[in-house]
Amino acid sequence: MEDRVGAEETRDDAKCKVILEGHDSHSFNTASYFADELKERGLPYGNTITVEESFIIKEEAPDLRQLSKAVTFGLAYGATEHSVANSLNISLDEAKIIVDNYHKLYSGVQKYYDKYLKEARDNKGVGRTPHGLIIRCHELLGEEQISVEKAERSYCNALIQGLSGQLMMKAINRIQKRIEDENLEDNMYIFLTIHDAVYLQVKNDPIIVQKANEIVISEMIKDYKEDQLVHNKAELDFGFSWKQQETLANNASLGEIKDFLNKLEEDFKKDK
């Protein structure tokens, strides 16, 4: 969810391209971070790869793709060249190349952050996101570099993470309201949320499962802006245990759901 919200808010060309064109996102990143290594292996590289080429990288260079995940998540939350070097066990010079490639690839993201950081500093350390969240971060005005850098990371994370959290809470409230309005409290209920996932206990009945599929998906994918370019996406997994979960197709028919539940139950009994 944060990837989609980040792409929508920053309108960074590369972030939007990854999502709207259907690339394997981690492979797309790999093509930029580890371009030289991919080139040596005779695989596609660079930030102009096609969707098909991103899936070639996924199949042919899973090791580099796995490394790129650590880089992407780390840098998204304020990692430095030193932390990248340590996490990948590479030299500082090699880490600098990867970090530089990340910022070249997603240059629009940093411009977005810089804009709001400047506004907060100009307003004595108090910022406001485009969606009304007030962020008080007076440490931005400090003189100690380490404290200032920490404040910058916290502030930038709040811009996207804060909005993602707001959107999740709104979706959860809408789902709960639908459950109550349609008198379904005895058939399904929300019992847990983790980041961008909401968990429900649902009665093992095809009609109820179909209703849960419709309610959860429709409320999770609602746009939050009139001119939204990168739309929200959701899918619903079901299972009789935490270990075994299978994805039910959005808008599945009643017949498809019956087959889905039968197979799910058979697989669960075999596993036991």
For 146-167, write each residue's pLDDT tens digit: 899 889 888 888 888 888 989 9
Mean pLDDT by 10 residues, the chain (272 residues): 91 92 92 93 93 96 92 78 86 90 89 93 92 90 89 87 90 97 97 92 96 96 94 93 90 95 91 74
Distance CA 197, CA 52 (A): 29
Mean pLDDT of the chain: 91
Q: Tell me which residue range forms the domain holding 262.
A: 182-271
pLDDT for residue 176: 97
Q: Buried b / exposed e across 216-234, counting CB within 10 Å, b at 16+? A: bbebbeeeeeeeeebebeb
Tell me: do 146 and 189 sit in the same domain: no
Tell me: do 5 and 96 sit in the same domain: yes
Tell me: do 37 and 122 sit in the same domain: no
pLDDT for residue 38: 96
122-131 per-position pLDDT tens digit? 999 999 888 8
Domain count, the chain: 3
Please name which of 18, 47, 51 lies closest in space to residue 34, comparing C-alpha atoms: 47
| CB 42 within 8 Å of CB 3 | no
Distance CA 223, CA 1 (A): 12
Count the helix, strand and coil residues of the chain and give each as a percent rounded to the nearest 5. 60, 10, 30
Q: Buried b / exposed e across 19-56, counting CB within 10 Å, b at 16+? A: beeebbbbbbbbbbbbbeebeeeebbbebebeeebbbb
Tell me: do 98 and 12 sit in the same domain: yes
59-97 per-position pLDDT tens digit? 999 999 999 988 887 787 767 888 888 888 889 998 998
Q: Is 142 within a domain? A: yes
Q: Is 175 within a domain? A: no
pLDDT for residue 202: 97
